[in-house]
Amino acid sequence: MKKQMLIVALAAACAMSTHAVTAQPEKVASTQMKPVAAQTQAALWASRVLGRYHYKALPLDDAMSEKIFDNYFETLDSEKLYFTQADVDRFAPMRTRFDDAINNEDLAQPFAIYNLYQQRFADRMNYARGLLKTKLDFTVDETLQLDREKAPWAKSEDEVRDLWRKRVKNDWLRLKLAGKEEKAIRETLDKRYENYISRMKKLNNEDVFQMFMNAYATAIEPHTNYLGPRSADNFDIAMRLSLEGIGAVLQSREDYTVIREVVPGSPADKSGKLKVGDRIVGVAQGNGPFTDVLGWRIDDVVQLVRGEKGSTVRLDVIPGDAGVDAKHVTVSMVRKKISMEEQAAKKSIIQVKENGVARRIGIISLPTFYQDFEARRKGDKDFKSATRDVARILGELKKEKVDNVLIDLRNNGGGSLTEAVELTGLFIDKGPVVQQRTAEGRVEVESDTAAGLAWDGPMGVLINRGSASASEIFAAAIQDYGRGLVIGEPSFGKGTVQTLIDLDRFSQSEKVRYGELKMTIAQFFRINGGTTQLRGVTPDIKLPVTSDIENFGESSFDNALPWVSIKPATYIPAGDLKELVAPLQKRHEARIAKDKEFHDLREDIAEVMKLRKENAISLNETVRRKERDSQDARAKLREARLAAGKGGSVDEPAAAPGGKEARSKVPEPTRPGKAVIAARNTPMRDDGLQGDERALSAEIAAEKAAKDAKDVLLQEAAHILADEAGMLKTDTRMATRTMPYMATGKADPSAASLAK
């Protein structure tokens, strides 16, 4: 879901006293919410800043008012489950007046819309609870539409009630298929719906104002947000202490708190039990009782997960690769400070054997573009950075005589721009890396200025839809210079720069707080003049697309900044790999045509696309059981084959330092043994990290298969680079044309690069 009730998902990797949770106000909101003077003033100042300093500055006029109106209703009720068309029509006169409301400091109408929403929410929940006392018929052939974001508003009360009848029926059927008895199902669902009402009552006028202002901010551009005073404080804590806690980034999806990212080396990562896509339904402090968090607002869940370093937190989790009513897993973790060492770049070597010839491919996995800014500012010559670590690893790989190097940037969401520039400098001999254009049209070029290379041999970059920002800058520069092959799927497409604007500076009193704006102020451009915005980086060699591109990535936003181009920077290409692409692509396709695991992967992806297109789930118990049993049998067959070592022709990775196998960076749904099949009873949107409906009898086998499974995409990328290395060694003329560095031996033994 692109628009959540609470827009900003905060990192749960922050340390904070657990007493802070109880310190938050728990008062039940009054029946009618009203804005306060500070909020109307904050809205006015925010509009002035956005209208003047935003990269895509748009006037606050009637046209913008219409966008805010639609955004606000979608923010409150994106699935069209609470309001009816009559409710929306009731406020139609305000469609072109929200600009006047902000300018005149009169926000009564936005709050009136919320008050109606609150009433409708209670109505729907009470109706749902009433249905639990009735007899539901699971022999009828009817379906529930899963994703209603693009559906029209219900035309009548009867229509919206029928939607809720189907939702309650589906909730009941989920629990029934999971083995619960009727009494337990009724109690579970009644408590769940009651909890929804309870959470709604705890929203206050700051929450309402933030939702309205975010409807305004995101109407301009998707990466622009308003943070109310409480959210601003949480954001500051997240940024300041982002490396303390359990090391997981959370987001809201439907009623669930979902793990969006797991920080390498963190307690969440080291537990071995938490993965991207897992759903947190309960949180406990130490050995205390679990607090049910289903339906909670994201920042309240974050408050519970946070805690002092050394304290213990337990999570009640539904695995992301199982049905939503599958067996829960309890994960206990000790909160800690996550050292940069544990997040650092890591290496492994994959040995590829083909036609009796062995090639060694060095893999450098880089989870983020990190840098110890404080140490560097203080002049510490040994400050920690991604570039320095990669340079060191490249030196080690040279000694180990690898034939090619692959930089694995899958799911690397970015980080330091400086690191992206300097990391590029390890593979080129001076030159521009990225361009930035400000709102005023001023273009600045960020360049690598240190002479020499740390690695002059062939190299490649592996990306996926989760590769964003700094990852895209690096991959684009390597591609534009003709320095290495980019392999994988199109990247995220985020080519914009944001900054935080403190609105409190406009306040006339220290006690009156206005909050903050996270605002887009510039755009990145490639050195060839194009941009990574919207389109991302297109790989030279394309691997199967495993993400839901329609709902994950910059292109999934209706109002994302467009792809544009500017004048190219002045640079000298390091090579031209175009001659290599066609033959490498041909070999790649021939190889995967024989690979059973790739066949499985494509089969899973096709199933996902089919289910997303259907966008419906049966409410017939016999049909659902048959679907689940079929998926279960399919998963068991695949897991048995993997356990028997008959998965395919790809070689296993060589041991990584420390004796551990190379760690997969691919989200679980793209890995063999953890089927990509989208659950028919889970939301089909956001980032494509939906699970399947395998029965729990396969749980042990599934865990073993996942542990033993090979990273198919990484292995194939290694094969592609092995092919490239072989072609360059057997055809010296091609090597001279495509990789002049190899021919001239123009490499500095990493000294210059290490000094950057």
Closest alpha carbon to 397 in 352, 458, 451, 452: 458
CA 139 – CA 622 distance, rounded (Å):
7
Element (H, E) at 750: none
Which sign does the torsion angle of CA 39, 10, 556, 417 carry?
positive
Query: Cα–Cα distance between 613 and 25 in angstroms, integer?
Result: 43
Phi, psi of 369, rounded to the nearest 5 degrees: -90, 85
Any bridge partners for residue 486, and if so which? 461
DSSP state of 653: P
- Residue 106: closest CA among 48, 35, 49, 38: 35
Exactly one of 207, 480, 711, 723 is catalytic; name it: 480
Q: φ and ψ at 289, to 5 degrees?
A: -70, 155
**3-state secondary structure at position 38:** helix
Cα–Cα distance for residue pair 310/264, rounded to 1 Å: 19
SS3 454: coil
DSSP letter for each residue of 339-394? -HHHHS-EEEEEEEEETTEEEEEEEEE-S-B-B-HHHHHTT-TT--BHHHHHHHHH
3-state secondary structure 561-611: CCCCCCCCCCCCCCCCCHHHHHHHHHHHHHHHHCCHHHHHHHHHHHHHHHH
CB 166 within 8 A of CB 142: yes
Please identify which of the residues 80, 176, 347, 494 carries the catalytic annotation: 494
Residues 6+ positions from 203 with CB-CB distance below 8 Å? 29, 118, 297
480 a catalytic residue: yes
Residues with Cβ < 8 Å from 23, sequence gap 6 or more? none
Under 8 Å between Cβ of 659 and 721: no
For this structure, is 471 an active site residue? Answer: no
Dihedral angle sign, alpha carbons of residues 357, 362, 365, 368:
negative
Tokens linked to 500: 């935080």
Catalytic option among 467, 469, 491, 753: 469
The residue whose two tokens read 């130490």 is: 286
Only one residue has tokens 């985020």, namely: 494
The stretches of 221-309 forming alpha helices (DSSP H) are 229-240, 267-270, 298-305
Residues assigned a catalytic role: 469, 480, 494
